[in-house]
């Protein structure tokens, strides 16, 4: 049995937000929404769970701080200690004030780069990946809501979507 998907196109972001709220109140399942730019509040209107990227970023920063401390301790204290300006490098704690900028920079470096890599992996964005955009107008000026219509009457759902302000509705057989 082939599944049916309805693509409802809207031409305004405020109209899209209202439509998403009405679609959720109507107990229809929204598969995906394609927009030409980020729409503030759309994630809450769709009922999506909050992201854990901030927790991952904190953990990546801790990893960066640990790498910075281990690297500076090994390089400046154990491997090649130098007497610079009459200040010998006998312990890491004595020289830590000089290492604070490096610790800060490596913390930010690790957090930023590993967060970007995590985002790409989580979003399944690989190099040379083909775009999965169902309608090219969503990269310009239209907003598309993809709704699973397999378990609903298509005519009722189409009329409901037109009532929410959809400019165009297409039935897609997958």
Q: List pLDDT tens digits, range 113-124.
A: 999 999 999 888
Phi, psi of 53, deg, nearest 5: -65, -30
pTM of the model: 0.72
Query: Which helix (H) or strand (E) segment is 89 a member of?
Result: none
Q: Which helix (H) or strand (E) holds 10?
A: strand 4-10
- Whole-number pLDDT of residue 168: 93
Distance (Å, whole) CA 130 – CA 99: 45
Whether residue 80 is predicted with pLDDT greater than 90 in this model: the reply is no
Asked if 119 contacts 136 with a C-beta cutoff of 8 angstroms, the reply is no
Q: Express as a percent the part of the chain with pLDDT over 90.
A: 57
Q: What is the pLDDT confidence band of residue 78, given thresholds at 50, 70 and 90?
A: confident
**Domain ranges within the chain, ordered by starting residue:** 4-49+135-173, 53-122
Residue 10, beta-bridge partner list? 143
Mean of pLDDT over the chain: 90
Phi–psi pair at 172, nearest 5 degrees = -115, 130
Provide the sign of the torsion angle of the four alpha carbons 75, 78, 82, 83, taken in this order: positive
User: Which phi and psi angles does 143 have, rounded to 5°?
Assistant: -120, 125
Is the per-residue pLDDT at 107 higher than 90? yes
The answer to whether domain 4-49+135-173 has CATH 3.30.70 is yes
State the Cα–Cα distance between residues 166 and 46, nearest whole angstrom: 17
């Amino acid at each position: 049995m082939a599944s049916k998907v309805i693509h409802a196109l809207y031409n305004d972001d405020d109209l899209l937000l209202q439509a998403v709220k009405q679609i959720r109140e109507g107990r229809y399942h929204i598969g995906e929404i394609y927009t030409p730019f980020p729409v503030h509040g759309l994630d809450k209107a769709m009922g999506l769970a909050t992201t854990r990227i901030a927790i991952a970023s904190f953990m990546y920063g801790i990893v960066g701080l640990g790498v910075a401390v281990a690297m500076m301790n090994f390089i400046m204290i154990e491997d090649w200690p130098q007497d610079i300006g009459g200040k010998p490098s006998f312990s890491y704690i004595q020289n830590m004030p000089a290492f604070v900028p490096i610790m800060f920079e490596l913390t930010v470096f690790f957090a930023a780069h590993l967060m970007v890599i995590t985002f790409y992996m989580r979003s399944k964005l690989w190099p040379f990946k083909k775009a999965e955009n169902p309608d090219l107008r969503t990269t310009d000026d239209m907003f598309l809501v993809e709704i699973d219509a397999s378990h609903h009457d298509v005519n009722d759902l189409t009329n409901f979507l037109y009532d929410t302000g959809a400019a165009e509705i297409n039935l897609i057989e997958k």
